[in-house]
Protein backbone atom coordinates (compact mmCIF):
# COMPACT_ATOMS: atom_id res chain seq x y z
CA UNK A 1 0.00 0.00 0.00
CA UNK A 2 2.07 2.90 -1.27
CA UNK A 3 -0.34 5.71 -0.42
CA UNK A 4 -0.51 6.37 3.34
CA UNK A 5 -1.14 10.11 3.64
CA UNK A 6 -4.80 10.94 4.16
CA UNK A 7 -5.72 7.31 4.71
CA UNK A 8 -6.89 5.73 7.97
CA UNK A 9 -5.09 3.37 10.36
CA UNK A 10 -6.71 1.47 13.23
CA UNK A 11 -4.19 0.26 15.82
CA UNK A 12 -5.15 -2.05 18.67
CA UNK A 13 -2.98 -1.91 21.77
CA UNK A 14 -2.20 1.60 20.56
CA UNK A 15 -1.90 3.19 24.01
CA UNK A 16 1.65 2.03 24.65
CA UNK A 17 4.71 0.16 23.45
CA UNK A 18 4.90 -1.03 19.84
CA UNK A 19 1.33 0.08 19.04
CA UNK A 20 2.01 3.64 20.19
CA UNK A 21 5.24 3.75 18.18
CA UNK A 22 3.31 2.61 15.10
CA UNK A 23 0.79 5.40 15.76
CA UNK A 24 3.60 7.98 15.82
CA UNK A 25 5.14 6.60 12.64
CA UNK A 26 1.89 6.32 10.68
CA UNK A 27 0.82 9.74 12.01
CA UNK A 28 4.07 11.17 10.65
CA UNK A 29 3.16 9.61 7.29
CA UNK A 30 -0.04 11.68 7.33
CA UNK A 31 -2.46 8.90 8.28
CA UNK A 32 -5.59 9.46 10.35
CA UNK A 33 -5.41 7.32 13.47
CA UNK A 34 -7.89 5.34 15.55
CA UNK A 35 -6.18 3.96 18.65
CA UNK A 36 -7.95 1.23 20.59
CA UNK A 37 -6.90 -0.10 23.97
CA UNK A 38 -8.17 -1.41 27.29
CA UNK A 39 -6.09 1.03 29.36
CA UNK A 40 -7.99 4.30 29.65
CA UNK A 41 -5.27 6.52 31.19
CA UNK A 42 -2.45 5.61 28.78
CA UNK A 43 -4.91 5.82 25.87
CA UNK A 44 -5.82 9.41 26.81
CA UNK A 45 -2.12 10.25 27.21
CA UNK A 46 -1.30 8.77 23.82
CA UNK A 47 -4.04 10.77 22.10
CA UNK A 48 -2.88 13.97 23.78
CA UNK A 49 0.74 13.42 22.70
CA UNK A 50 -0.22 12.54 19.13
CA UNK A 51 -2.54 15.55 18.81
CA UNK A 52 0.24 17.77 20.17
CA UNK A 53 2.32 16.51 17.23
CA UNK A 54 -0.48 17.67 14.92
CA UNK A 55 -1.95 14.27 14.02
CA UNK A 56 -5.64 13.52 13.50
CA UNK A 57 -6.40 10.88 16.10
CA UNK A 58 -9.38 9.36 17.90
CA UNK A 59 -9.45 6.70 20.58
CA UNK A 60 -11.68 3.79 21.47
CA UNK A 61 -11.69 1.99 24.80
CA UNK A 62 -12.30 -1.72 24.33
CA UNK A 63 -11.38 -5.24 25.31
CA UNK A 64 -10.07 -7.14 22.28
CA UNK A 65 -11.35 -10.40 23.85
CA UNK A 66 -14.94 -9.30 23.19
CA UNK A 67 -16.22 -9.70 19.62
CA UNK A 68 -19.02 -7.16 20.05
CA UNK A 69 -16.47 -4.58 21.21
CA UNK A 70 -14.25 -5.28 18.20
CA UNK A 71 -17.28 -4.80 15.98
CA UNK A 72 -18.08 -1.54 17.78
CA UNK A 73 -14.49 -0.40 17.14
CA UNK A 74 -14.86 -1.08 13.41
CA UNK A 75 -18.14 0.83 13.30
CA UNK A 76 -16.72 3.77 15.26
CA UNK A 77 -13.63 4.01 13.05
CA UNK A 78 -15.70 3.84 9.86
CA UNK A 79 -18.20 6.42 11.15
CA UNK A 80 -15.42 8.83 12.12
CA UNK A 81 -13.00 8.41 9.23
CA UNK A 82 -14.77 6.47 6.44
CA UNK A 83 -12.76 3.77 4.68
CA UNK A 84 -10.17 1.93 6.75
CA UNK A 85 -6.90 1.27 4.93
CA UNK A 86 -4.61 -0.13 7.60
CA UNK A 87 -5.46 -2.41 10.50
CA UNK A 88 -2.74 -3.26 13.04
CA UNK A 89 -3.92 -6.16 15.20
CA UNK A 90 -1.32 -5.50 17.87
CA UNK A 91 -2.91 -5.67 21.34
CA UNK A 92 -1.22 -8.42 23.30
CA UNK A 93 0.05 -9.66 26.61
CA UNK A 94 3.15 -11.55 27.65
CA UNK A 95 2.49 -14.38 30.03
CA UNK A 96 4.42 -17.41 31.15
CA UNK A 97 2.94 -20.74 31.97
CA UNK A 98 4.10 -24.31 31.75
CA UNK A 99 2.12 -26.96 29.92
CA UNK A 100 1.67 -29.42 32.80
CA UNK A 101 -1.01 -28.72 35.40
CA UNK A 102 -4.47 -27.17 35.46
CA UNK A 103 -3.87 -24.42 38.07
CA UNK A 104 -3.30 -21.68 35.50
CA UNK A 105 -5.80 -22.81 32.88
CA UNK A 106 -7.81 -19.56 33.05
CA UNK A 107 -4.63 -17.46 32.61
CA UNK A 108 -3.84 -19.56 29.51
CA UNK A 109 -7.31 -18.75 28.25
CA UNK A 110 -6.82 -15.01 28.96
CA UNK A 111 -3.55 -14.98 27.00
CA UNK A 112 -4.92 -16.88 24.01
CA UNK A 113 -8.17 -14.85 24.03
CA UNK A 114 -6.19 -11.61 23.68
CA UNK A 115 -3.21 -12.64 21.56
CA UNK A 116 -4.93 -15.03 19.16
CA UNK A 117 -8.70 -14.57 19.34
CA UNK A 118 -8.21 -10.79 19.39
CA UNK A 119 -6.36 -11.01 16.07
CA UNK A 120 -8.92 -13.44 14.63
CA UNK A 121 -11.76 -11.11 15.67
CA UNK A 122 -9.94 -8.14 14.14
CA UNK A 123 -9.35 -9.86 10.80
CA UNK A 124 -12.84 -11.33 10.52
CA UNK A 125 -14.54 -8.07 11.53
CA UNK A 126 -12.58 -5.57 9.47
CA UNK A 127 -11.84 -7.57 6.32
CA UNK A 128 -15.28 -7.54 4.65
CA UNK A 129 -15.34 -3.74 4.68
CA UNK A 130 -11.69 -3.40 3.67
CA UNK A 131 -12.27 -5.76 0.73
CA UNK A 132 -15.53 -4.11 -0.33
CA UNK A 133 -13.85 -0.68 -0.43
CA UNK A 134 -11.86 -1.90 -3.42
CA UNK A 135 -8.92 0.36 -2.48
CA UNK A 136 -5.41 -0.75 -1.52
CA UNK A 137 -5.43 -1.73 2.15
CA UNK A 138 -3.22 -3.67 4.52
CA UNK A 139 -3.40 -5.73 7.71
CA UNK A 140 -0.45 -6.10 10.10
CA UNK A 141 -0.78 -8.83 12.70
CA UNK A 142 1.63 -8.67 15.62
CA UNK A 143 3.04 -12.12 16.39
CA UNK A 144 6.54 -12.56 17.84
CA UNK A 145 9.68 -14.64 17.44
CA UNK A 146 7.64 -16.84 19.79
CA UNK A 147 5.56 -17.57 16.69
CA UNK A 148 8.58 -19.44 15.29
CA UNK A 149 10.50 -20.65 18.33
CA UNK A 150 8.76 -22.16 21.33
CA UNK A 151 10.74 -21.58 24.54
CA UNK A 152 9.98 -23.63 27.66
CA UNK A 153 7.57 -22.15 30.24
CA UNK A 154 5.93 -19.79 27.71
CA UNK A 155 3.24 -22.22 26.56
CA UNK A 156 0.15 -20.03 26.19
CA UNK A 157 2.18 -17.22 24.61
CA UNK A 158 3.87 -19.56 22.13
CA UNK A 159 0.58 -21.19 21.17
CA UNK A 160 -1.04 -17.79 20.62
CA UNK A 161 1.83 -16.46 18.50
CA UNK A 162 2.24 -19.60 16.36
CA UNK A 163 -1.50 -19.19 15.78
CA UNK A 164 -1.09 -15.58 14.65
CA UNK A 165 1.63 -16.61 12.17
CA UNK A 166 -0.59 -19.41 10.80
CA UNK A 167 -3.61 -17.10 10.57
CA UNK A 168 -1.57 -14.46 8.75
CA UNK A 169 -0.06 -16.89 6.23
CA UNK A 170 -3.53 -18.28 5.55
CA UNK A 171 -4.97 -14.80 5.08
CA UNK A 172 -2.16 -13.69 2.78
CA UNK A 173 -2.78 -16.67 0.50
CA UNK A 174 -6.55 -16.18 0.60
CA UNK A 175 -6.23 -12.53 -0.44
CA UNK A 176 -4.00 -13.53 -3.38
CA UNK A 177 -6.31 -16.34 -4.50
CA UNK A 178 -9.28 -13.98 -4.40
CA UNK A 179 -7.33 -11.21 -6.13
CA UNK A 180 -8.18 -8.73 -3.35
CA UNK A 181 -6.33 -5.49 -2.79
CA UNK A 182 -5.58 -6.21 0.88
CA UNK A 183 -1.93 -6.90 1.72
CA UNK A 184 -0.89 -8.79 4.84
CA UNK A 185 2.17 -8.64 7.09
CA UNK A 186 3.09 -10.51 10.24
CA UNK A 187 5.35 -8.74 12.75
CA UNK A 188 7.72 -11.11 14.54
CA UNK A 189 10.05 -9.22 16.88
CA UNK A 190 12.27 -10.62 19.60
CA UNK A 191 12.63 -8.38 22.66
CA UNK A 192 11.46 -4.76 22.41
CA UNK A 193 11.53 -2.05 25.13
CA UNK A 194 7.85 -1.93 26.13
CA UNK A 195 5.55 -2.69 29.04
CA UNK A 196 5.12 -6.33 27.98
CA UNK A 197 6.82 -7.76 31.09
CA UNK A 198 4.16 -5.97 33.17
CA UNK A 199 1.23 -7.37 31.18
CA UNK A 200 -0.31 -8.67 34.41
CA UNK A 201 -1.43 -5.06 35.00
CA UNK A 202 -4.35 -5.92 32.71
CA UNK A 203 -5.08 -9.33 34.24
CA UNK A 204 -8.67 -9.55 35.56
CA UNK A 205 -8.66 -9.43 39.37
CA UNK A 206 -10.05 -12.96 39.70
CA UNK A 207 -7.03 -14.38 37.85
CA UNK A 208 -4.40 -12.78 40.09
CA UNK A 209 -2.20 -15.12 42.13
CA UNK A 210 0.57 -14.45 44.64
CA UNK A 211 3.85 -14.65 42.71
CA UNK A 212 5.98 -17.70 43.49
CA UNK A 213 9.76 -17.53 43.91
CA UNK A 214 10.09 -19.16 40.47
CA UNK A 215 7.66 -16.65 38.98
CA UNK A 216 9.60 -13.72 40.47
CA UNK A 217 12.87 -15.09 39.05
CA UNK A 218 11.26 -15.48 35.62
CA UNK A 219 9.91 -11.92 35.82
CA UNK A 220 13.38 -10.56 36.59
CA UNK A 221 14.81 -12.36 33.55
CA UNK A 222 11.99 -10.99 31.35
CA UNK A 223 12.49 -7.45 32.73
CA UNK A 224 16.19 -7.58 31.82
CA UNK A 225 15.57 -9.03 28.34
CA UNK A 226 12.88 -6.45 27.55
CA UNK A 227 14.98 -3.56 28.95
CA UNK A 228 17.83 -4.63 26.67
CA UNK A 229 15.53 -4.99 23.69
CA UNK A 230 15.08 -2.97 20.52
CA UNK A 231 13.64 0.54 20.69
CA UNK A 232 10.00 0.75 19.61
CA UNK A 233 10.55 3.34 16.88
CA UNK A 234 12.89 0.93 15.05
CA UNK A 235 10.12 -1.69 15.02
CA UNK A 236 7.58 0.91 13.85
CA UNK A 237 9.89 1.93 10.98
CA UNK A 238 10.15 -1.73 9.89
CA UNK A 239 6.36 -2.07 9.99
CA UNK A 240 5.90 1.07 7.89
CA UNK A 241 8.41 -0.17 5.28
CA UNK A 242 6.62 -3.53 5.10
CA UNK A 243 3.23 -1.89 4.58
CA UNK A 244 4.51 0.37 1.82
CA UNK A 245 6.41 -2.46 0.06
CA UNK A 246 3.82 -5.17 0.77
CA UNK A 247 6.32 -7.43 2.59
CA UNK A 248 4.72 -10.28 4.49
CA UNK A 249 7.46 -11.17 6.98
CA UNK A 250 8.62 -8.45 9.39
CA UNK A 251 11.54 -10.04 11.22
CA UNK A 252 13.09 -7.13 13.09
CA UNK A 253 15.87 -9.02 14.89
CA UNK A 254 18.53 -10.41 12.56
CA UNK A 255 20.27 -12.27 15.40
CA UNK A 256 17.17 -14.48 15.86
CA UNK A 257 17.13 -15.66 12.25
CA UNK A 258 19.70 -18.47 12.63
CA UNK A 259 17.48 -20.09 15.26
CA UNK A 260 14.64 -20.25 12.72
CA UNK A 261 17.01 -21.89 10.24
CA UNK A 262 18.16 -24.39 12.89
CA UNK A 263 14.58 -25.27 13.73
CA UNK A 264 13.76 -25.88 10.07
CA UNK A 265 16.89 -28.04 9.76
CA UNK A 266 15.94 -29.94 12.93
CA UNK A 267 12.44 -30.63 11.58
CA UNK A 268 13.58 -32.08 8.28
CA UNK A 269 16.50 -33.92 9.93
CA UNK A 270 14.26 -35.40 12.65
CA UNK A 271 16.26 -33.80 15.51
CA UNK A 272 14.38 -33.49 18.81
CA UNK A 273 13.85 -30.02 20.43
CA UNK A 274 16.29 -29.04 23.20
CA UNK A 275 15.79 -26.29 25.83
CA UNK A 276 17.22 -22.84 25.07
CA UNK A 277 16.68 -19.25 26.20
CA UNK A 278 16.60 -16.49 23.66
CA UNK A 279 14.41 -14.17 21.64
N1 LIG B 1 7.91 -6.19 23.73
C2 LIG B 1 8.36 -7.30 23.24
O3 LIG B 1 9.48 -7.74 23.57
C4 LIG B 1 7.53 -8.05 22.21
C5 LIG B 1 8.17 -9.05 21.45
C6 LIG B 1 7.41 -9.74 20.51
C7 LIG B 1 6.07 -9.45 20.33
N8 LIG B 1 5.49 -8.47 21.10
C9 LIG B 1 4.06 -8.22 20.87
O10 LIG B 1 3.86 -6.84 20.62
C11 LIG B 1 2.49 -6.51 20.91
C12 LIG B 1 2.45 -5.21 21.67
O13 LIG B 1 3.01 -5.41 22.97
P14 LIG B 1 4.07 -4.42 23.60
O15 LIG B 1 5.34 -5.14 23.68
O16 LIG B 1 4.01 -3.10 22.95
O17 LIG B 1 3.52 -4.36 25.12
P18 LIG B 1 2.74 -3.21 25.88
O19 LIG B 1 2.27 -3.82 27.15
O20 LIG B 1 3.59 -1.98 25.97
O21 LIG B 1 1.51 -2.87 24.92
C22 LIG B 1 0.43 -3.77 24.77
C23 LIG B 1 -0.86 -2.97 24.68
O24 LIG B 1 -1.98 -3.88 24.53
C25 LIG B 1 -3.03 -3.43 25.39
N26 LIG B 1 -3.92 -4.55 25.76
C27 LIG B 1 -3.65 -5.57 26.60
N28 LIG B 1 -4.74 -6.34 26.78
C29 LIG B 1 -5.73 -5.78 26.02
C30 LIG B 1 -7.09 -6.13 25.79
N31 LIG B 1 -7.66 -7.19 26.39
N32 LIG B 1 -7.81 -5.35 24.95
C33 LIG B 1 -7.25 -4.26 24.37
N34 LIG B 1 -5.97 -3.87 24.57
C35 LIG B 1 -5.22 -4.64 25.38
C36 LIG B 1 -2.29 -2.88 26.60
O37 LIG B 1 -3.12 -2.04 27.39
C38 LIG B 1 -1.11 -2.16 25.96
O39 LIG B 1 -1.40 -0.81 25.66
C40 LIG B 1 1.92 -7.72 21.66
O41 LIG B 1 1.12 -8.47 20.77
C42 LIG B 1 3.16 -8.50 22.05
O43 LIG B 1 2.91 -9.87 22.22
C44 LIG B 1 6.18 -7.79 22.02
**Average pLDDT for the chain:** 96
Residue 276, pLDDT above cutoff 90: no
What pLDDT was estimated at residue 97? 87
pLDDT tens readout for residues 218-235:
899 999 999 999 999 999
Q: What is the pLDDT of residues 66-76, one digit of tens each?
A: 999 999 999 99
Q: Which amino acids are annotated catalytic?
A: 157
Which atom, in ligand 1's list, is nearest to the CA of 157? 43
What are the beta bridge partners of residue 139?
Answer: 87, 184
- Decide which of 1.10.357.10, 3.40.50.720, 1.20.1280.290, 3.40.50.150 is the CATH code for 8-269: 3.40.50.720
- What pLDDT score does 212 carry? 87
Q: What pLDDT is attached to residue 140? A: 99
List the domain boundaries for the chain.
8-269
Answer whether 122 contacts ligand 1 (Cβ < 6 A): no
Measured from the CA of 187, which atom of ligand 1 is nearest? 7
Report pLDDT for 266.
97
SS (H, E, C) the chain: CCCCCCCEEEEECCCCHHHHHHHHHHHHCCCEEEEEECCHHHHHHHHHHHHHCCCCEEEEECCCCCHHHHHHHHHHHHHHHCCCCEEEECCCCCCCECCCCCCCHHHHHHHHHHHHHHHHHHHHHHHHHHHHHCCCEEEEEECCHHHCCCCCCEHHHHHHHHHHHHHHHHHHHHHHHHCCCEEEEEECCCCECCCHHHHHHHCCHHHCCCCCHHHHHHHHHHHHHHHCCECHHHHHHHHHHHHHHCCCEECCCHHHHHHHHHHHHHHHHCCCCCCCCCC
CA of 90 to the centre of ligand 1 (A): 7
- Write down the pLDDT at residue 150: 95
143: pLDDT strictly greater than 70: yes
Please give the model's pTM, rounded to 2 decimal places.
0.98
pLDDT digits (tens, 9 = 90+) for 89-110: 999 999 888 999 999 999 999 9
The verdict on the CB of residue 148 being under 6 Å from ligand 1 is: no
Ligand 1: does its nearest atom lie under 6 Å from the Cβ of 111? no
Question: What's the confidence (pLDDT) of residue 253?
Answer: 98
Average pLDDT rounded to a whole number, residues 7-17: 98
| Ligand 1 site, residue 155, Cβ cutoff 6 A | no
At 248, the pLDDT band (50, 70, 90 cuts) reads: very high
Q: What is the mean pLDDT of residues 187-209?
A: 96
Pocket test for ligand 1, best of 46, 69, 92 (most atoms within 8 A of CB): 92
Count the Cβ atoms, other than its own, within 10 Å of residue 1: 17
Give the per-residue pLDDT at 211: 84
Return the minimum-mean-pLDDT range out of 19-23, 68-72, 131-135, 272-276.
Answer: 272-276
| pLDDT score of 277 more than 80 | no
Q: pLDDT category, 278, cuts 50, 70, 90?
A: low
Q: What is the per-residue pLDDT across 43-63, written as a single tens digit (0 to 9) for each?
A: 999 999 999 999 999 999 999
pLDDT at 215 (0 to 100): 84
Amino acid sequence: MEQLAGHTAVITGGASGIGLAMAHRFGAEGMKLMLADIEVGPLAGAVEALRADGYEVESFEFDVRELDQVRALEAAARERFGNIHLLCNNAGVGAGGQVAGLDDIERWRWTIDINLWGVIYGCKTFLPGMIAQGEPAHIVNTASMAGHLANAFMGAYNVSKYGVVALSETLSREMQVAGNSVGVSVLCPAFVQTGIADSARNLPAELHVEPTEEGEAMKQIMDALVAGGMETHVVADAVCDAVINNNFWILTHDDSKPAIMSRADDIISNVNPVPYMGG
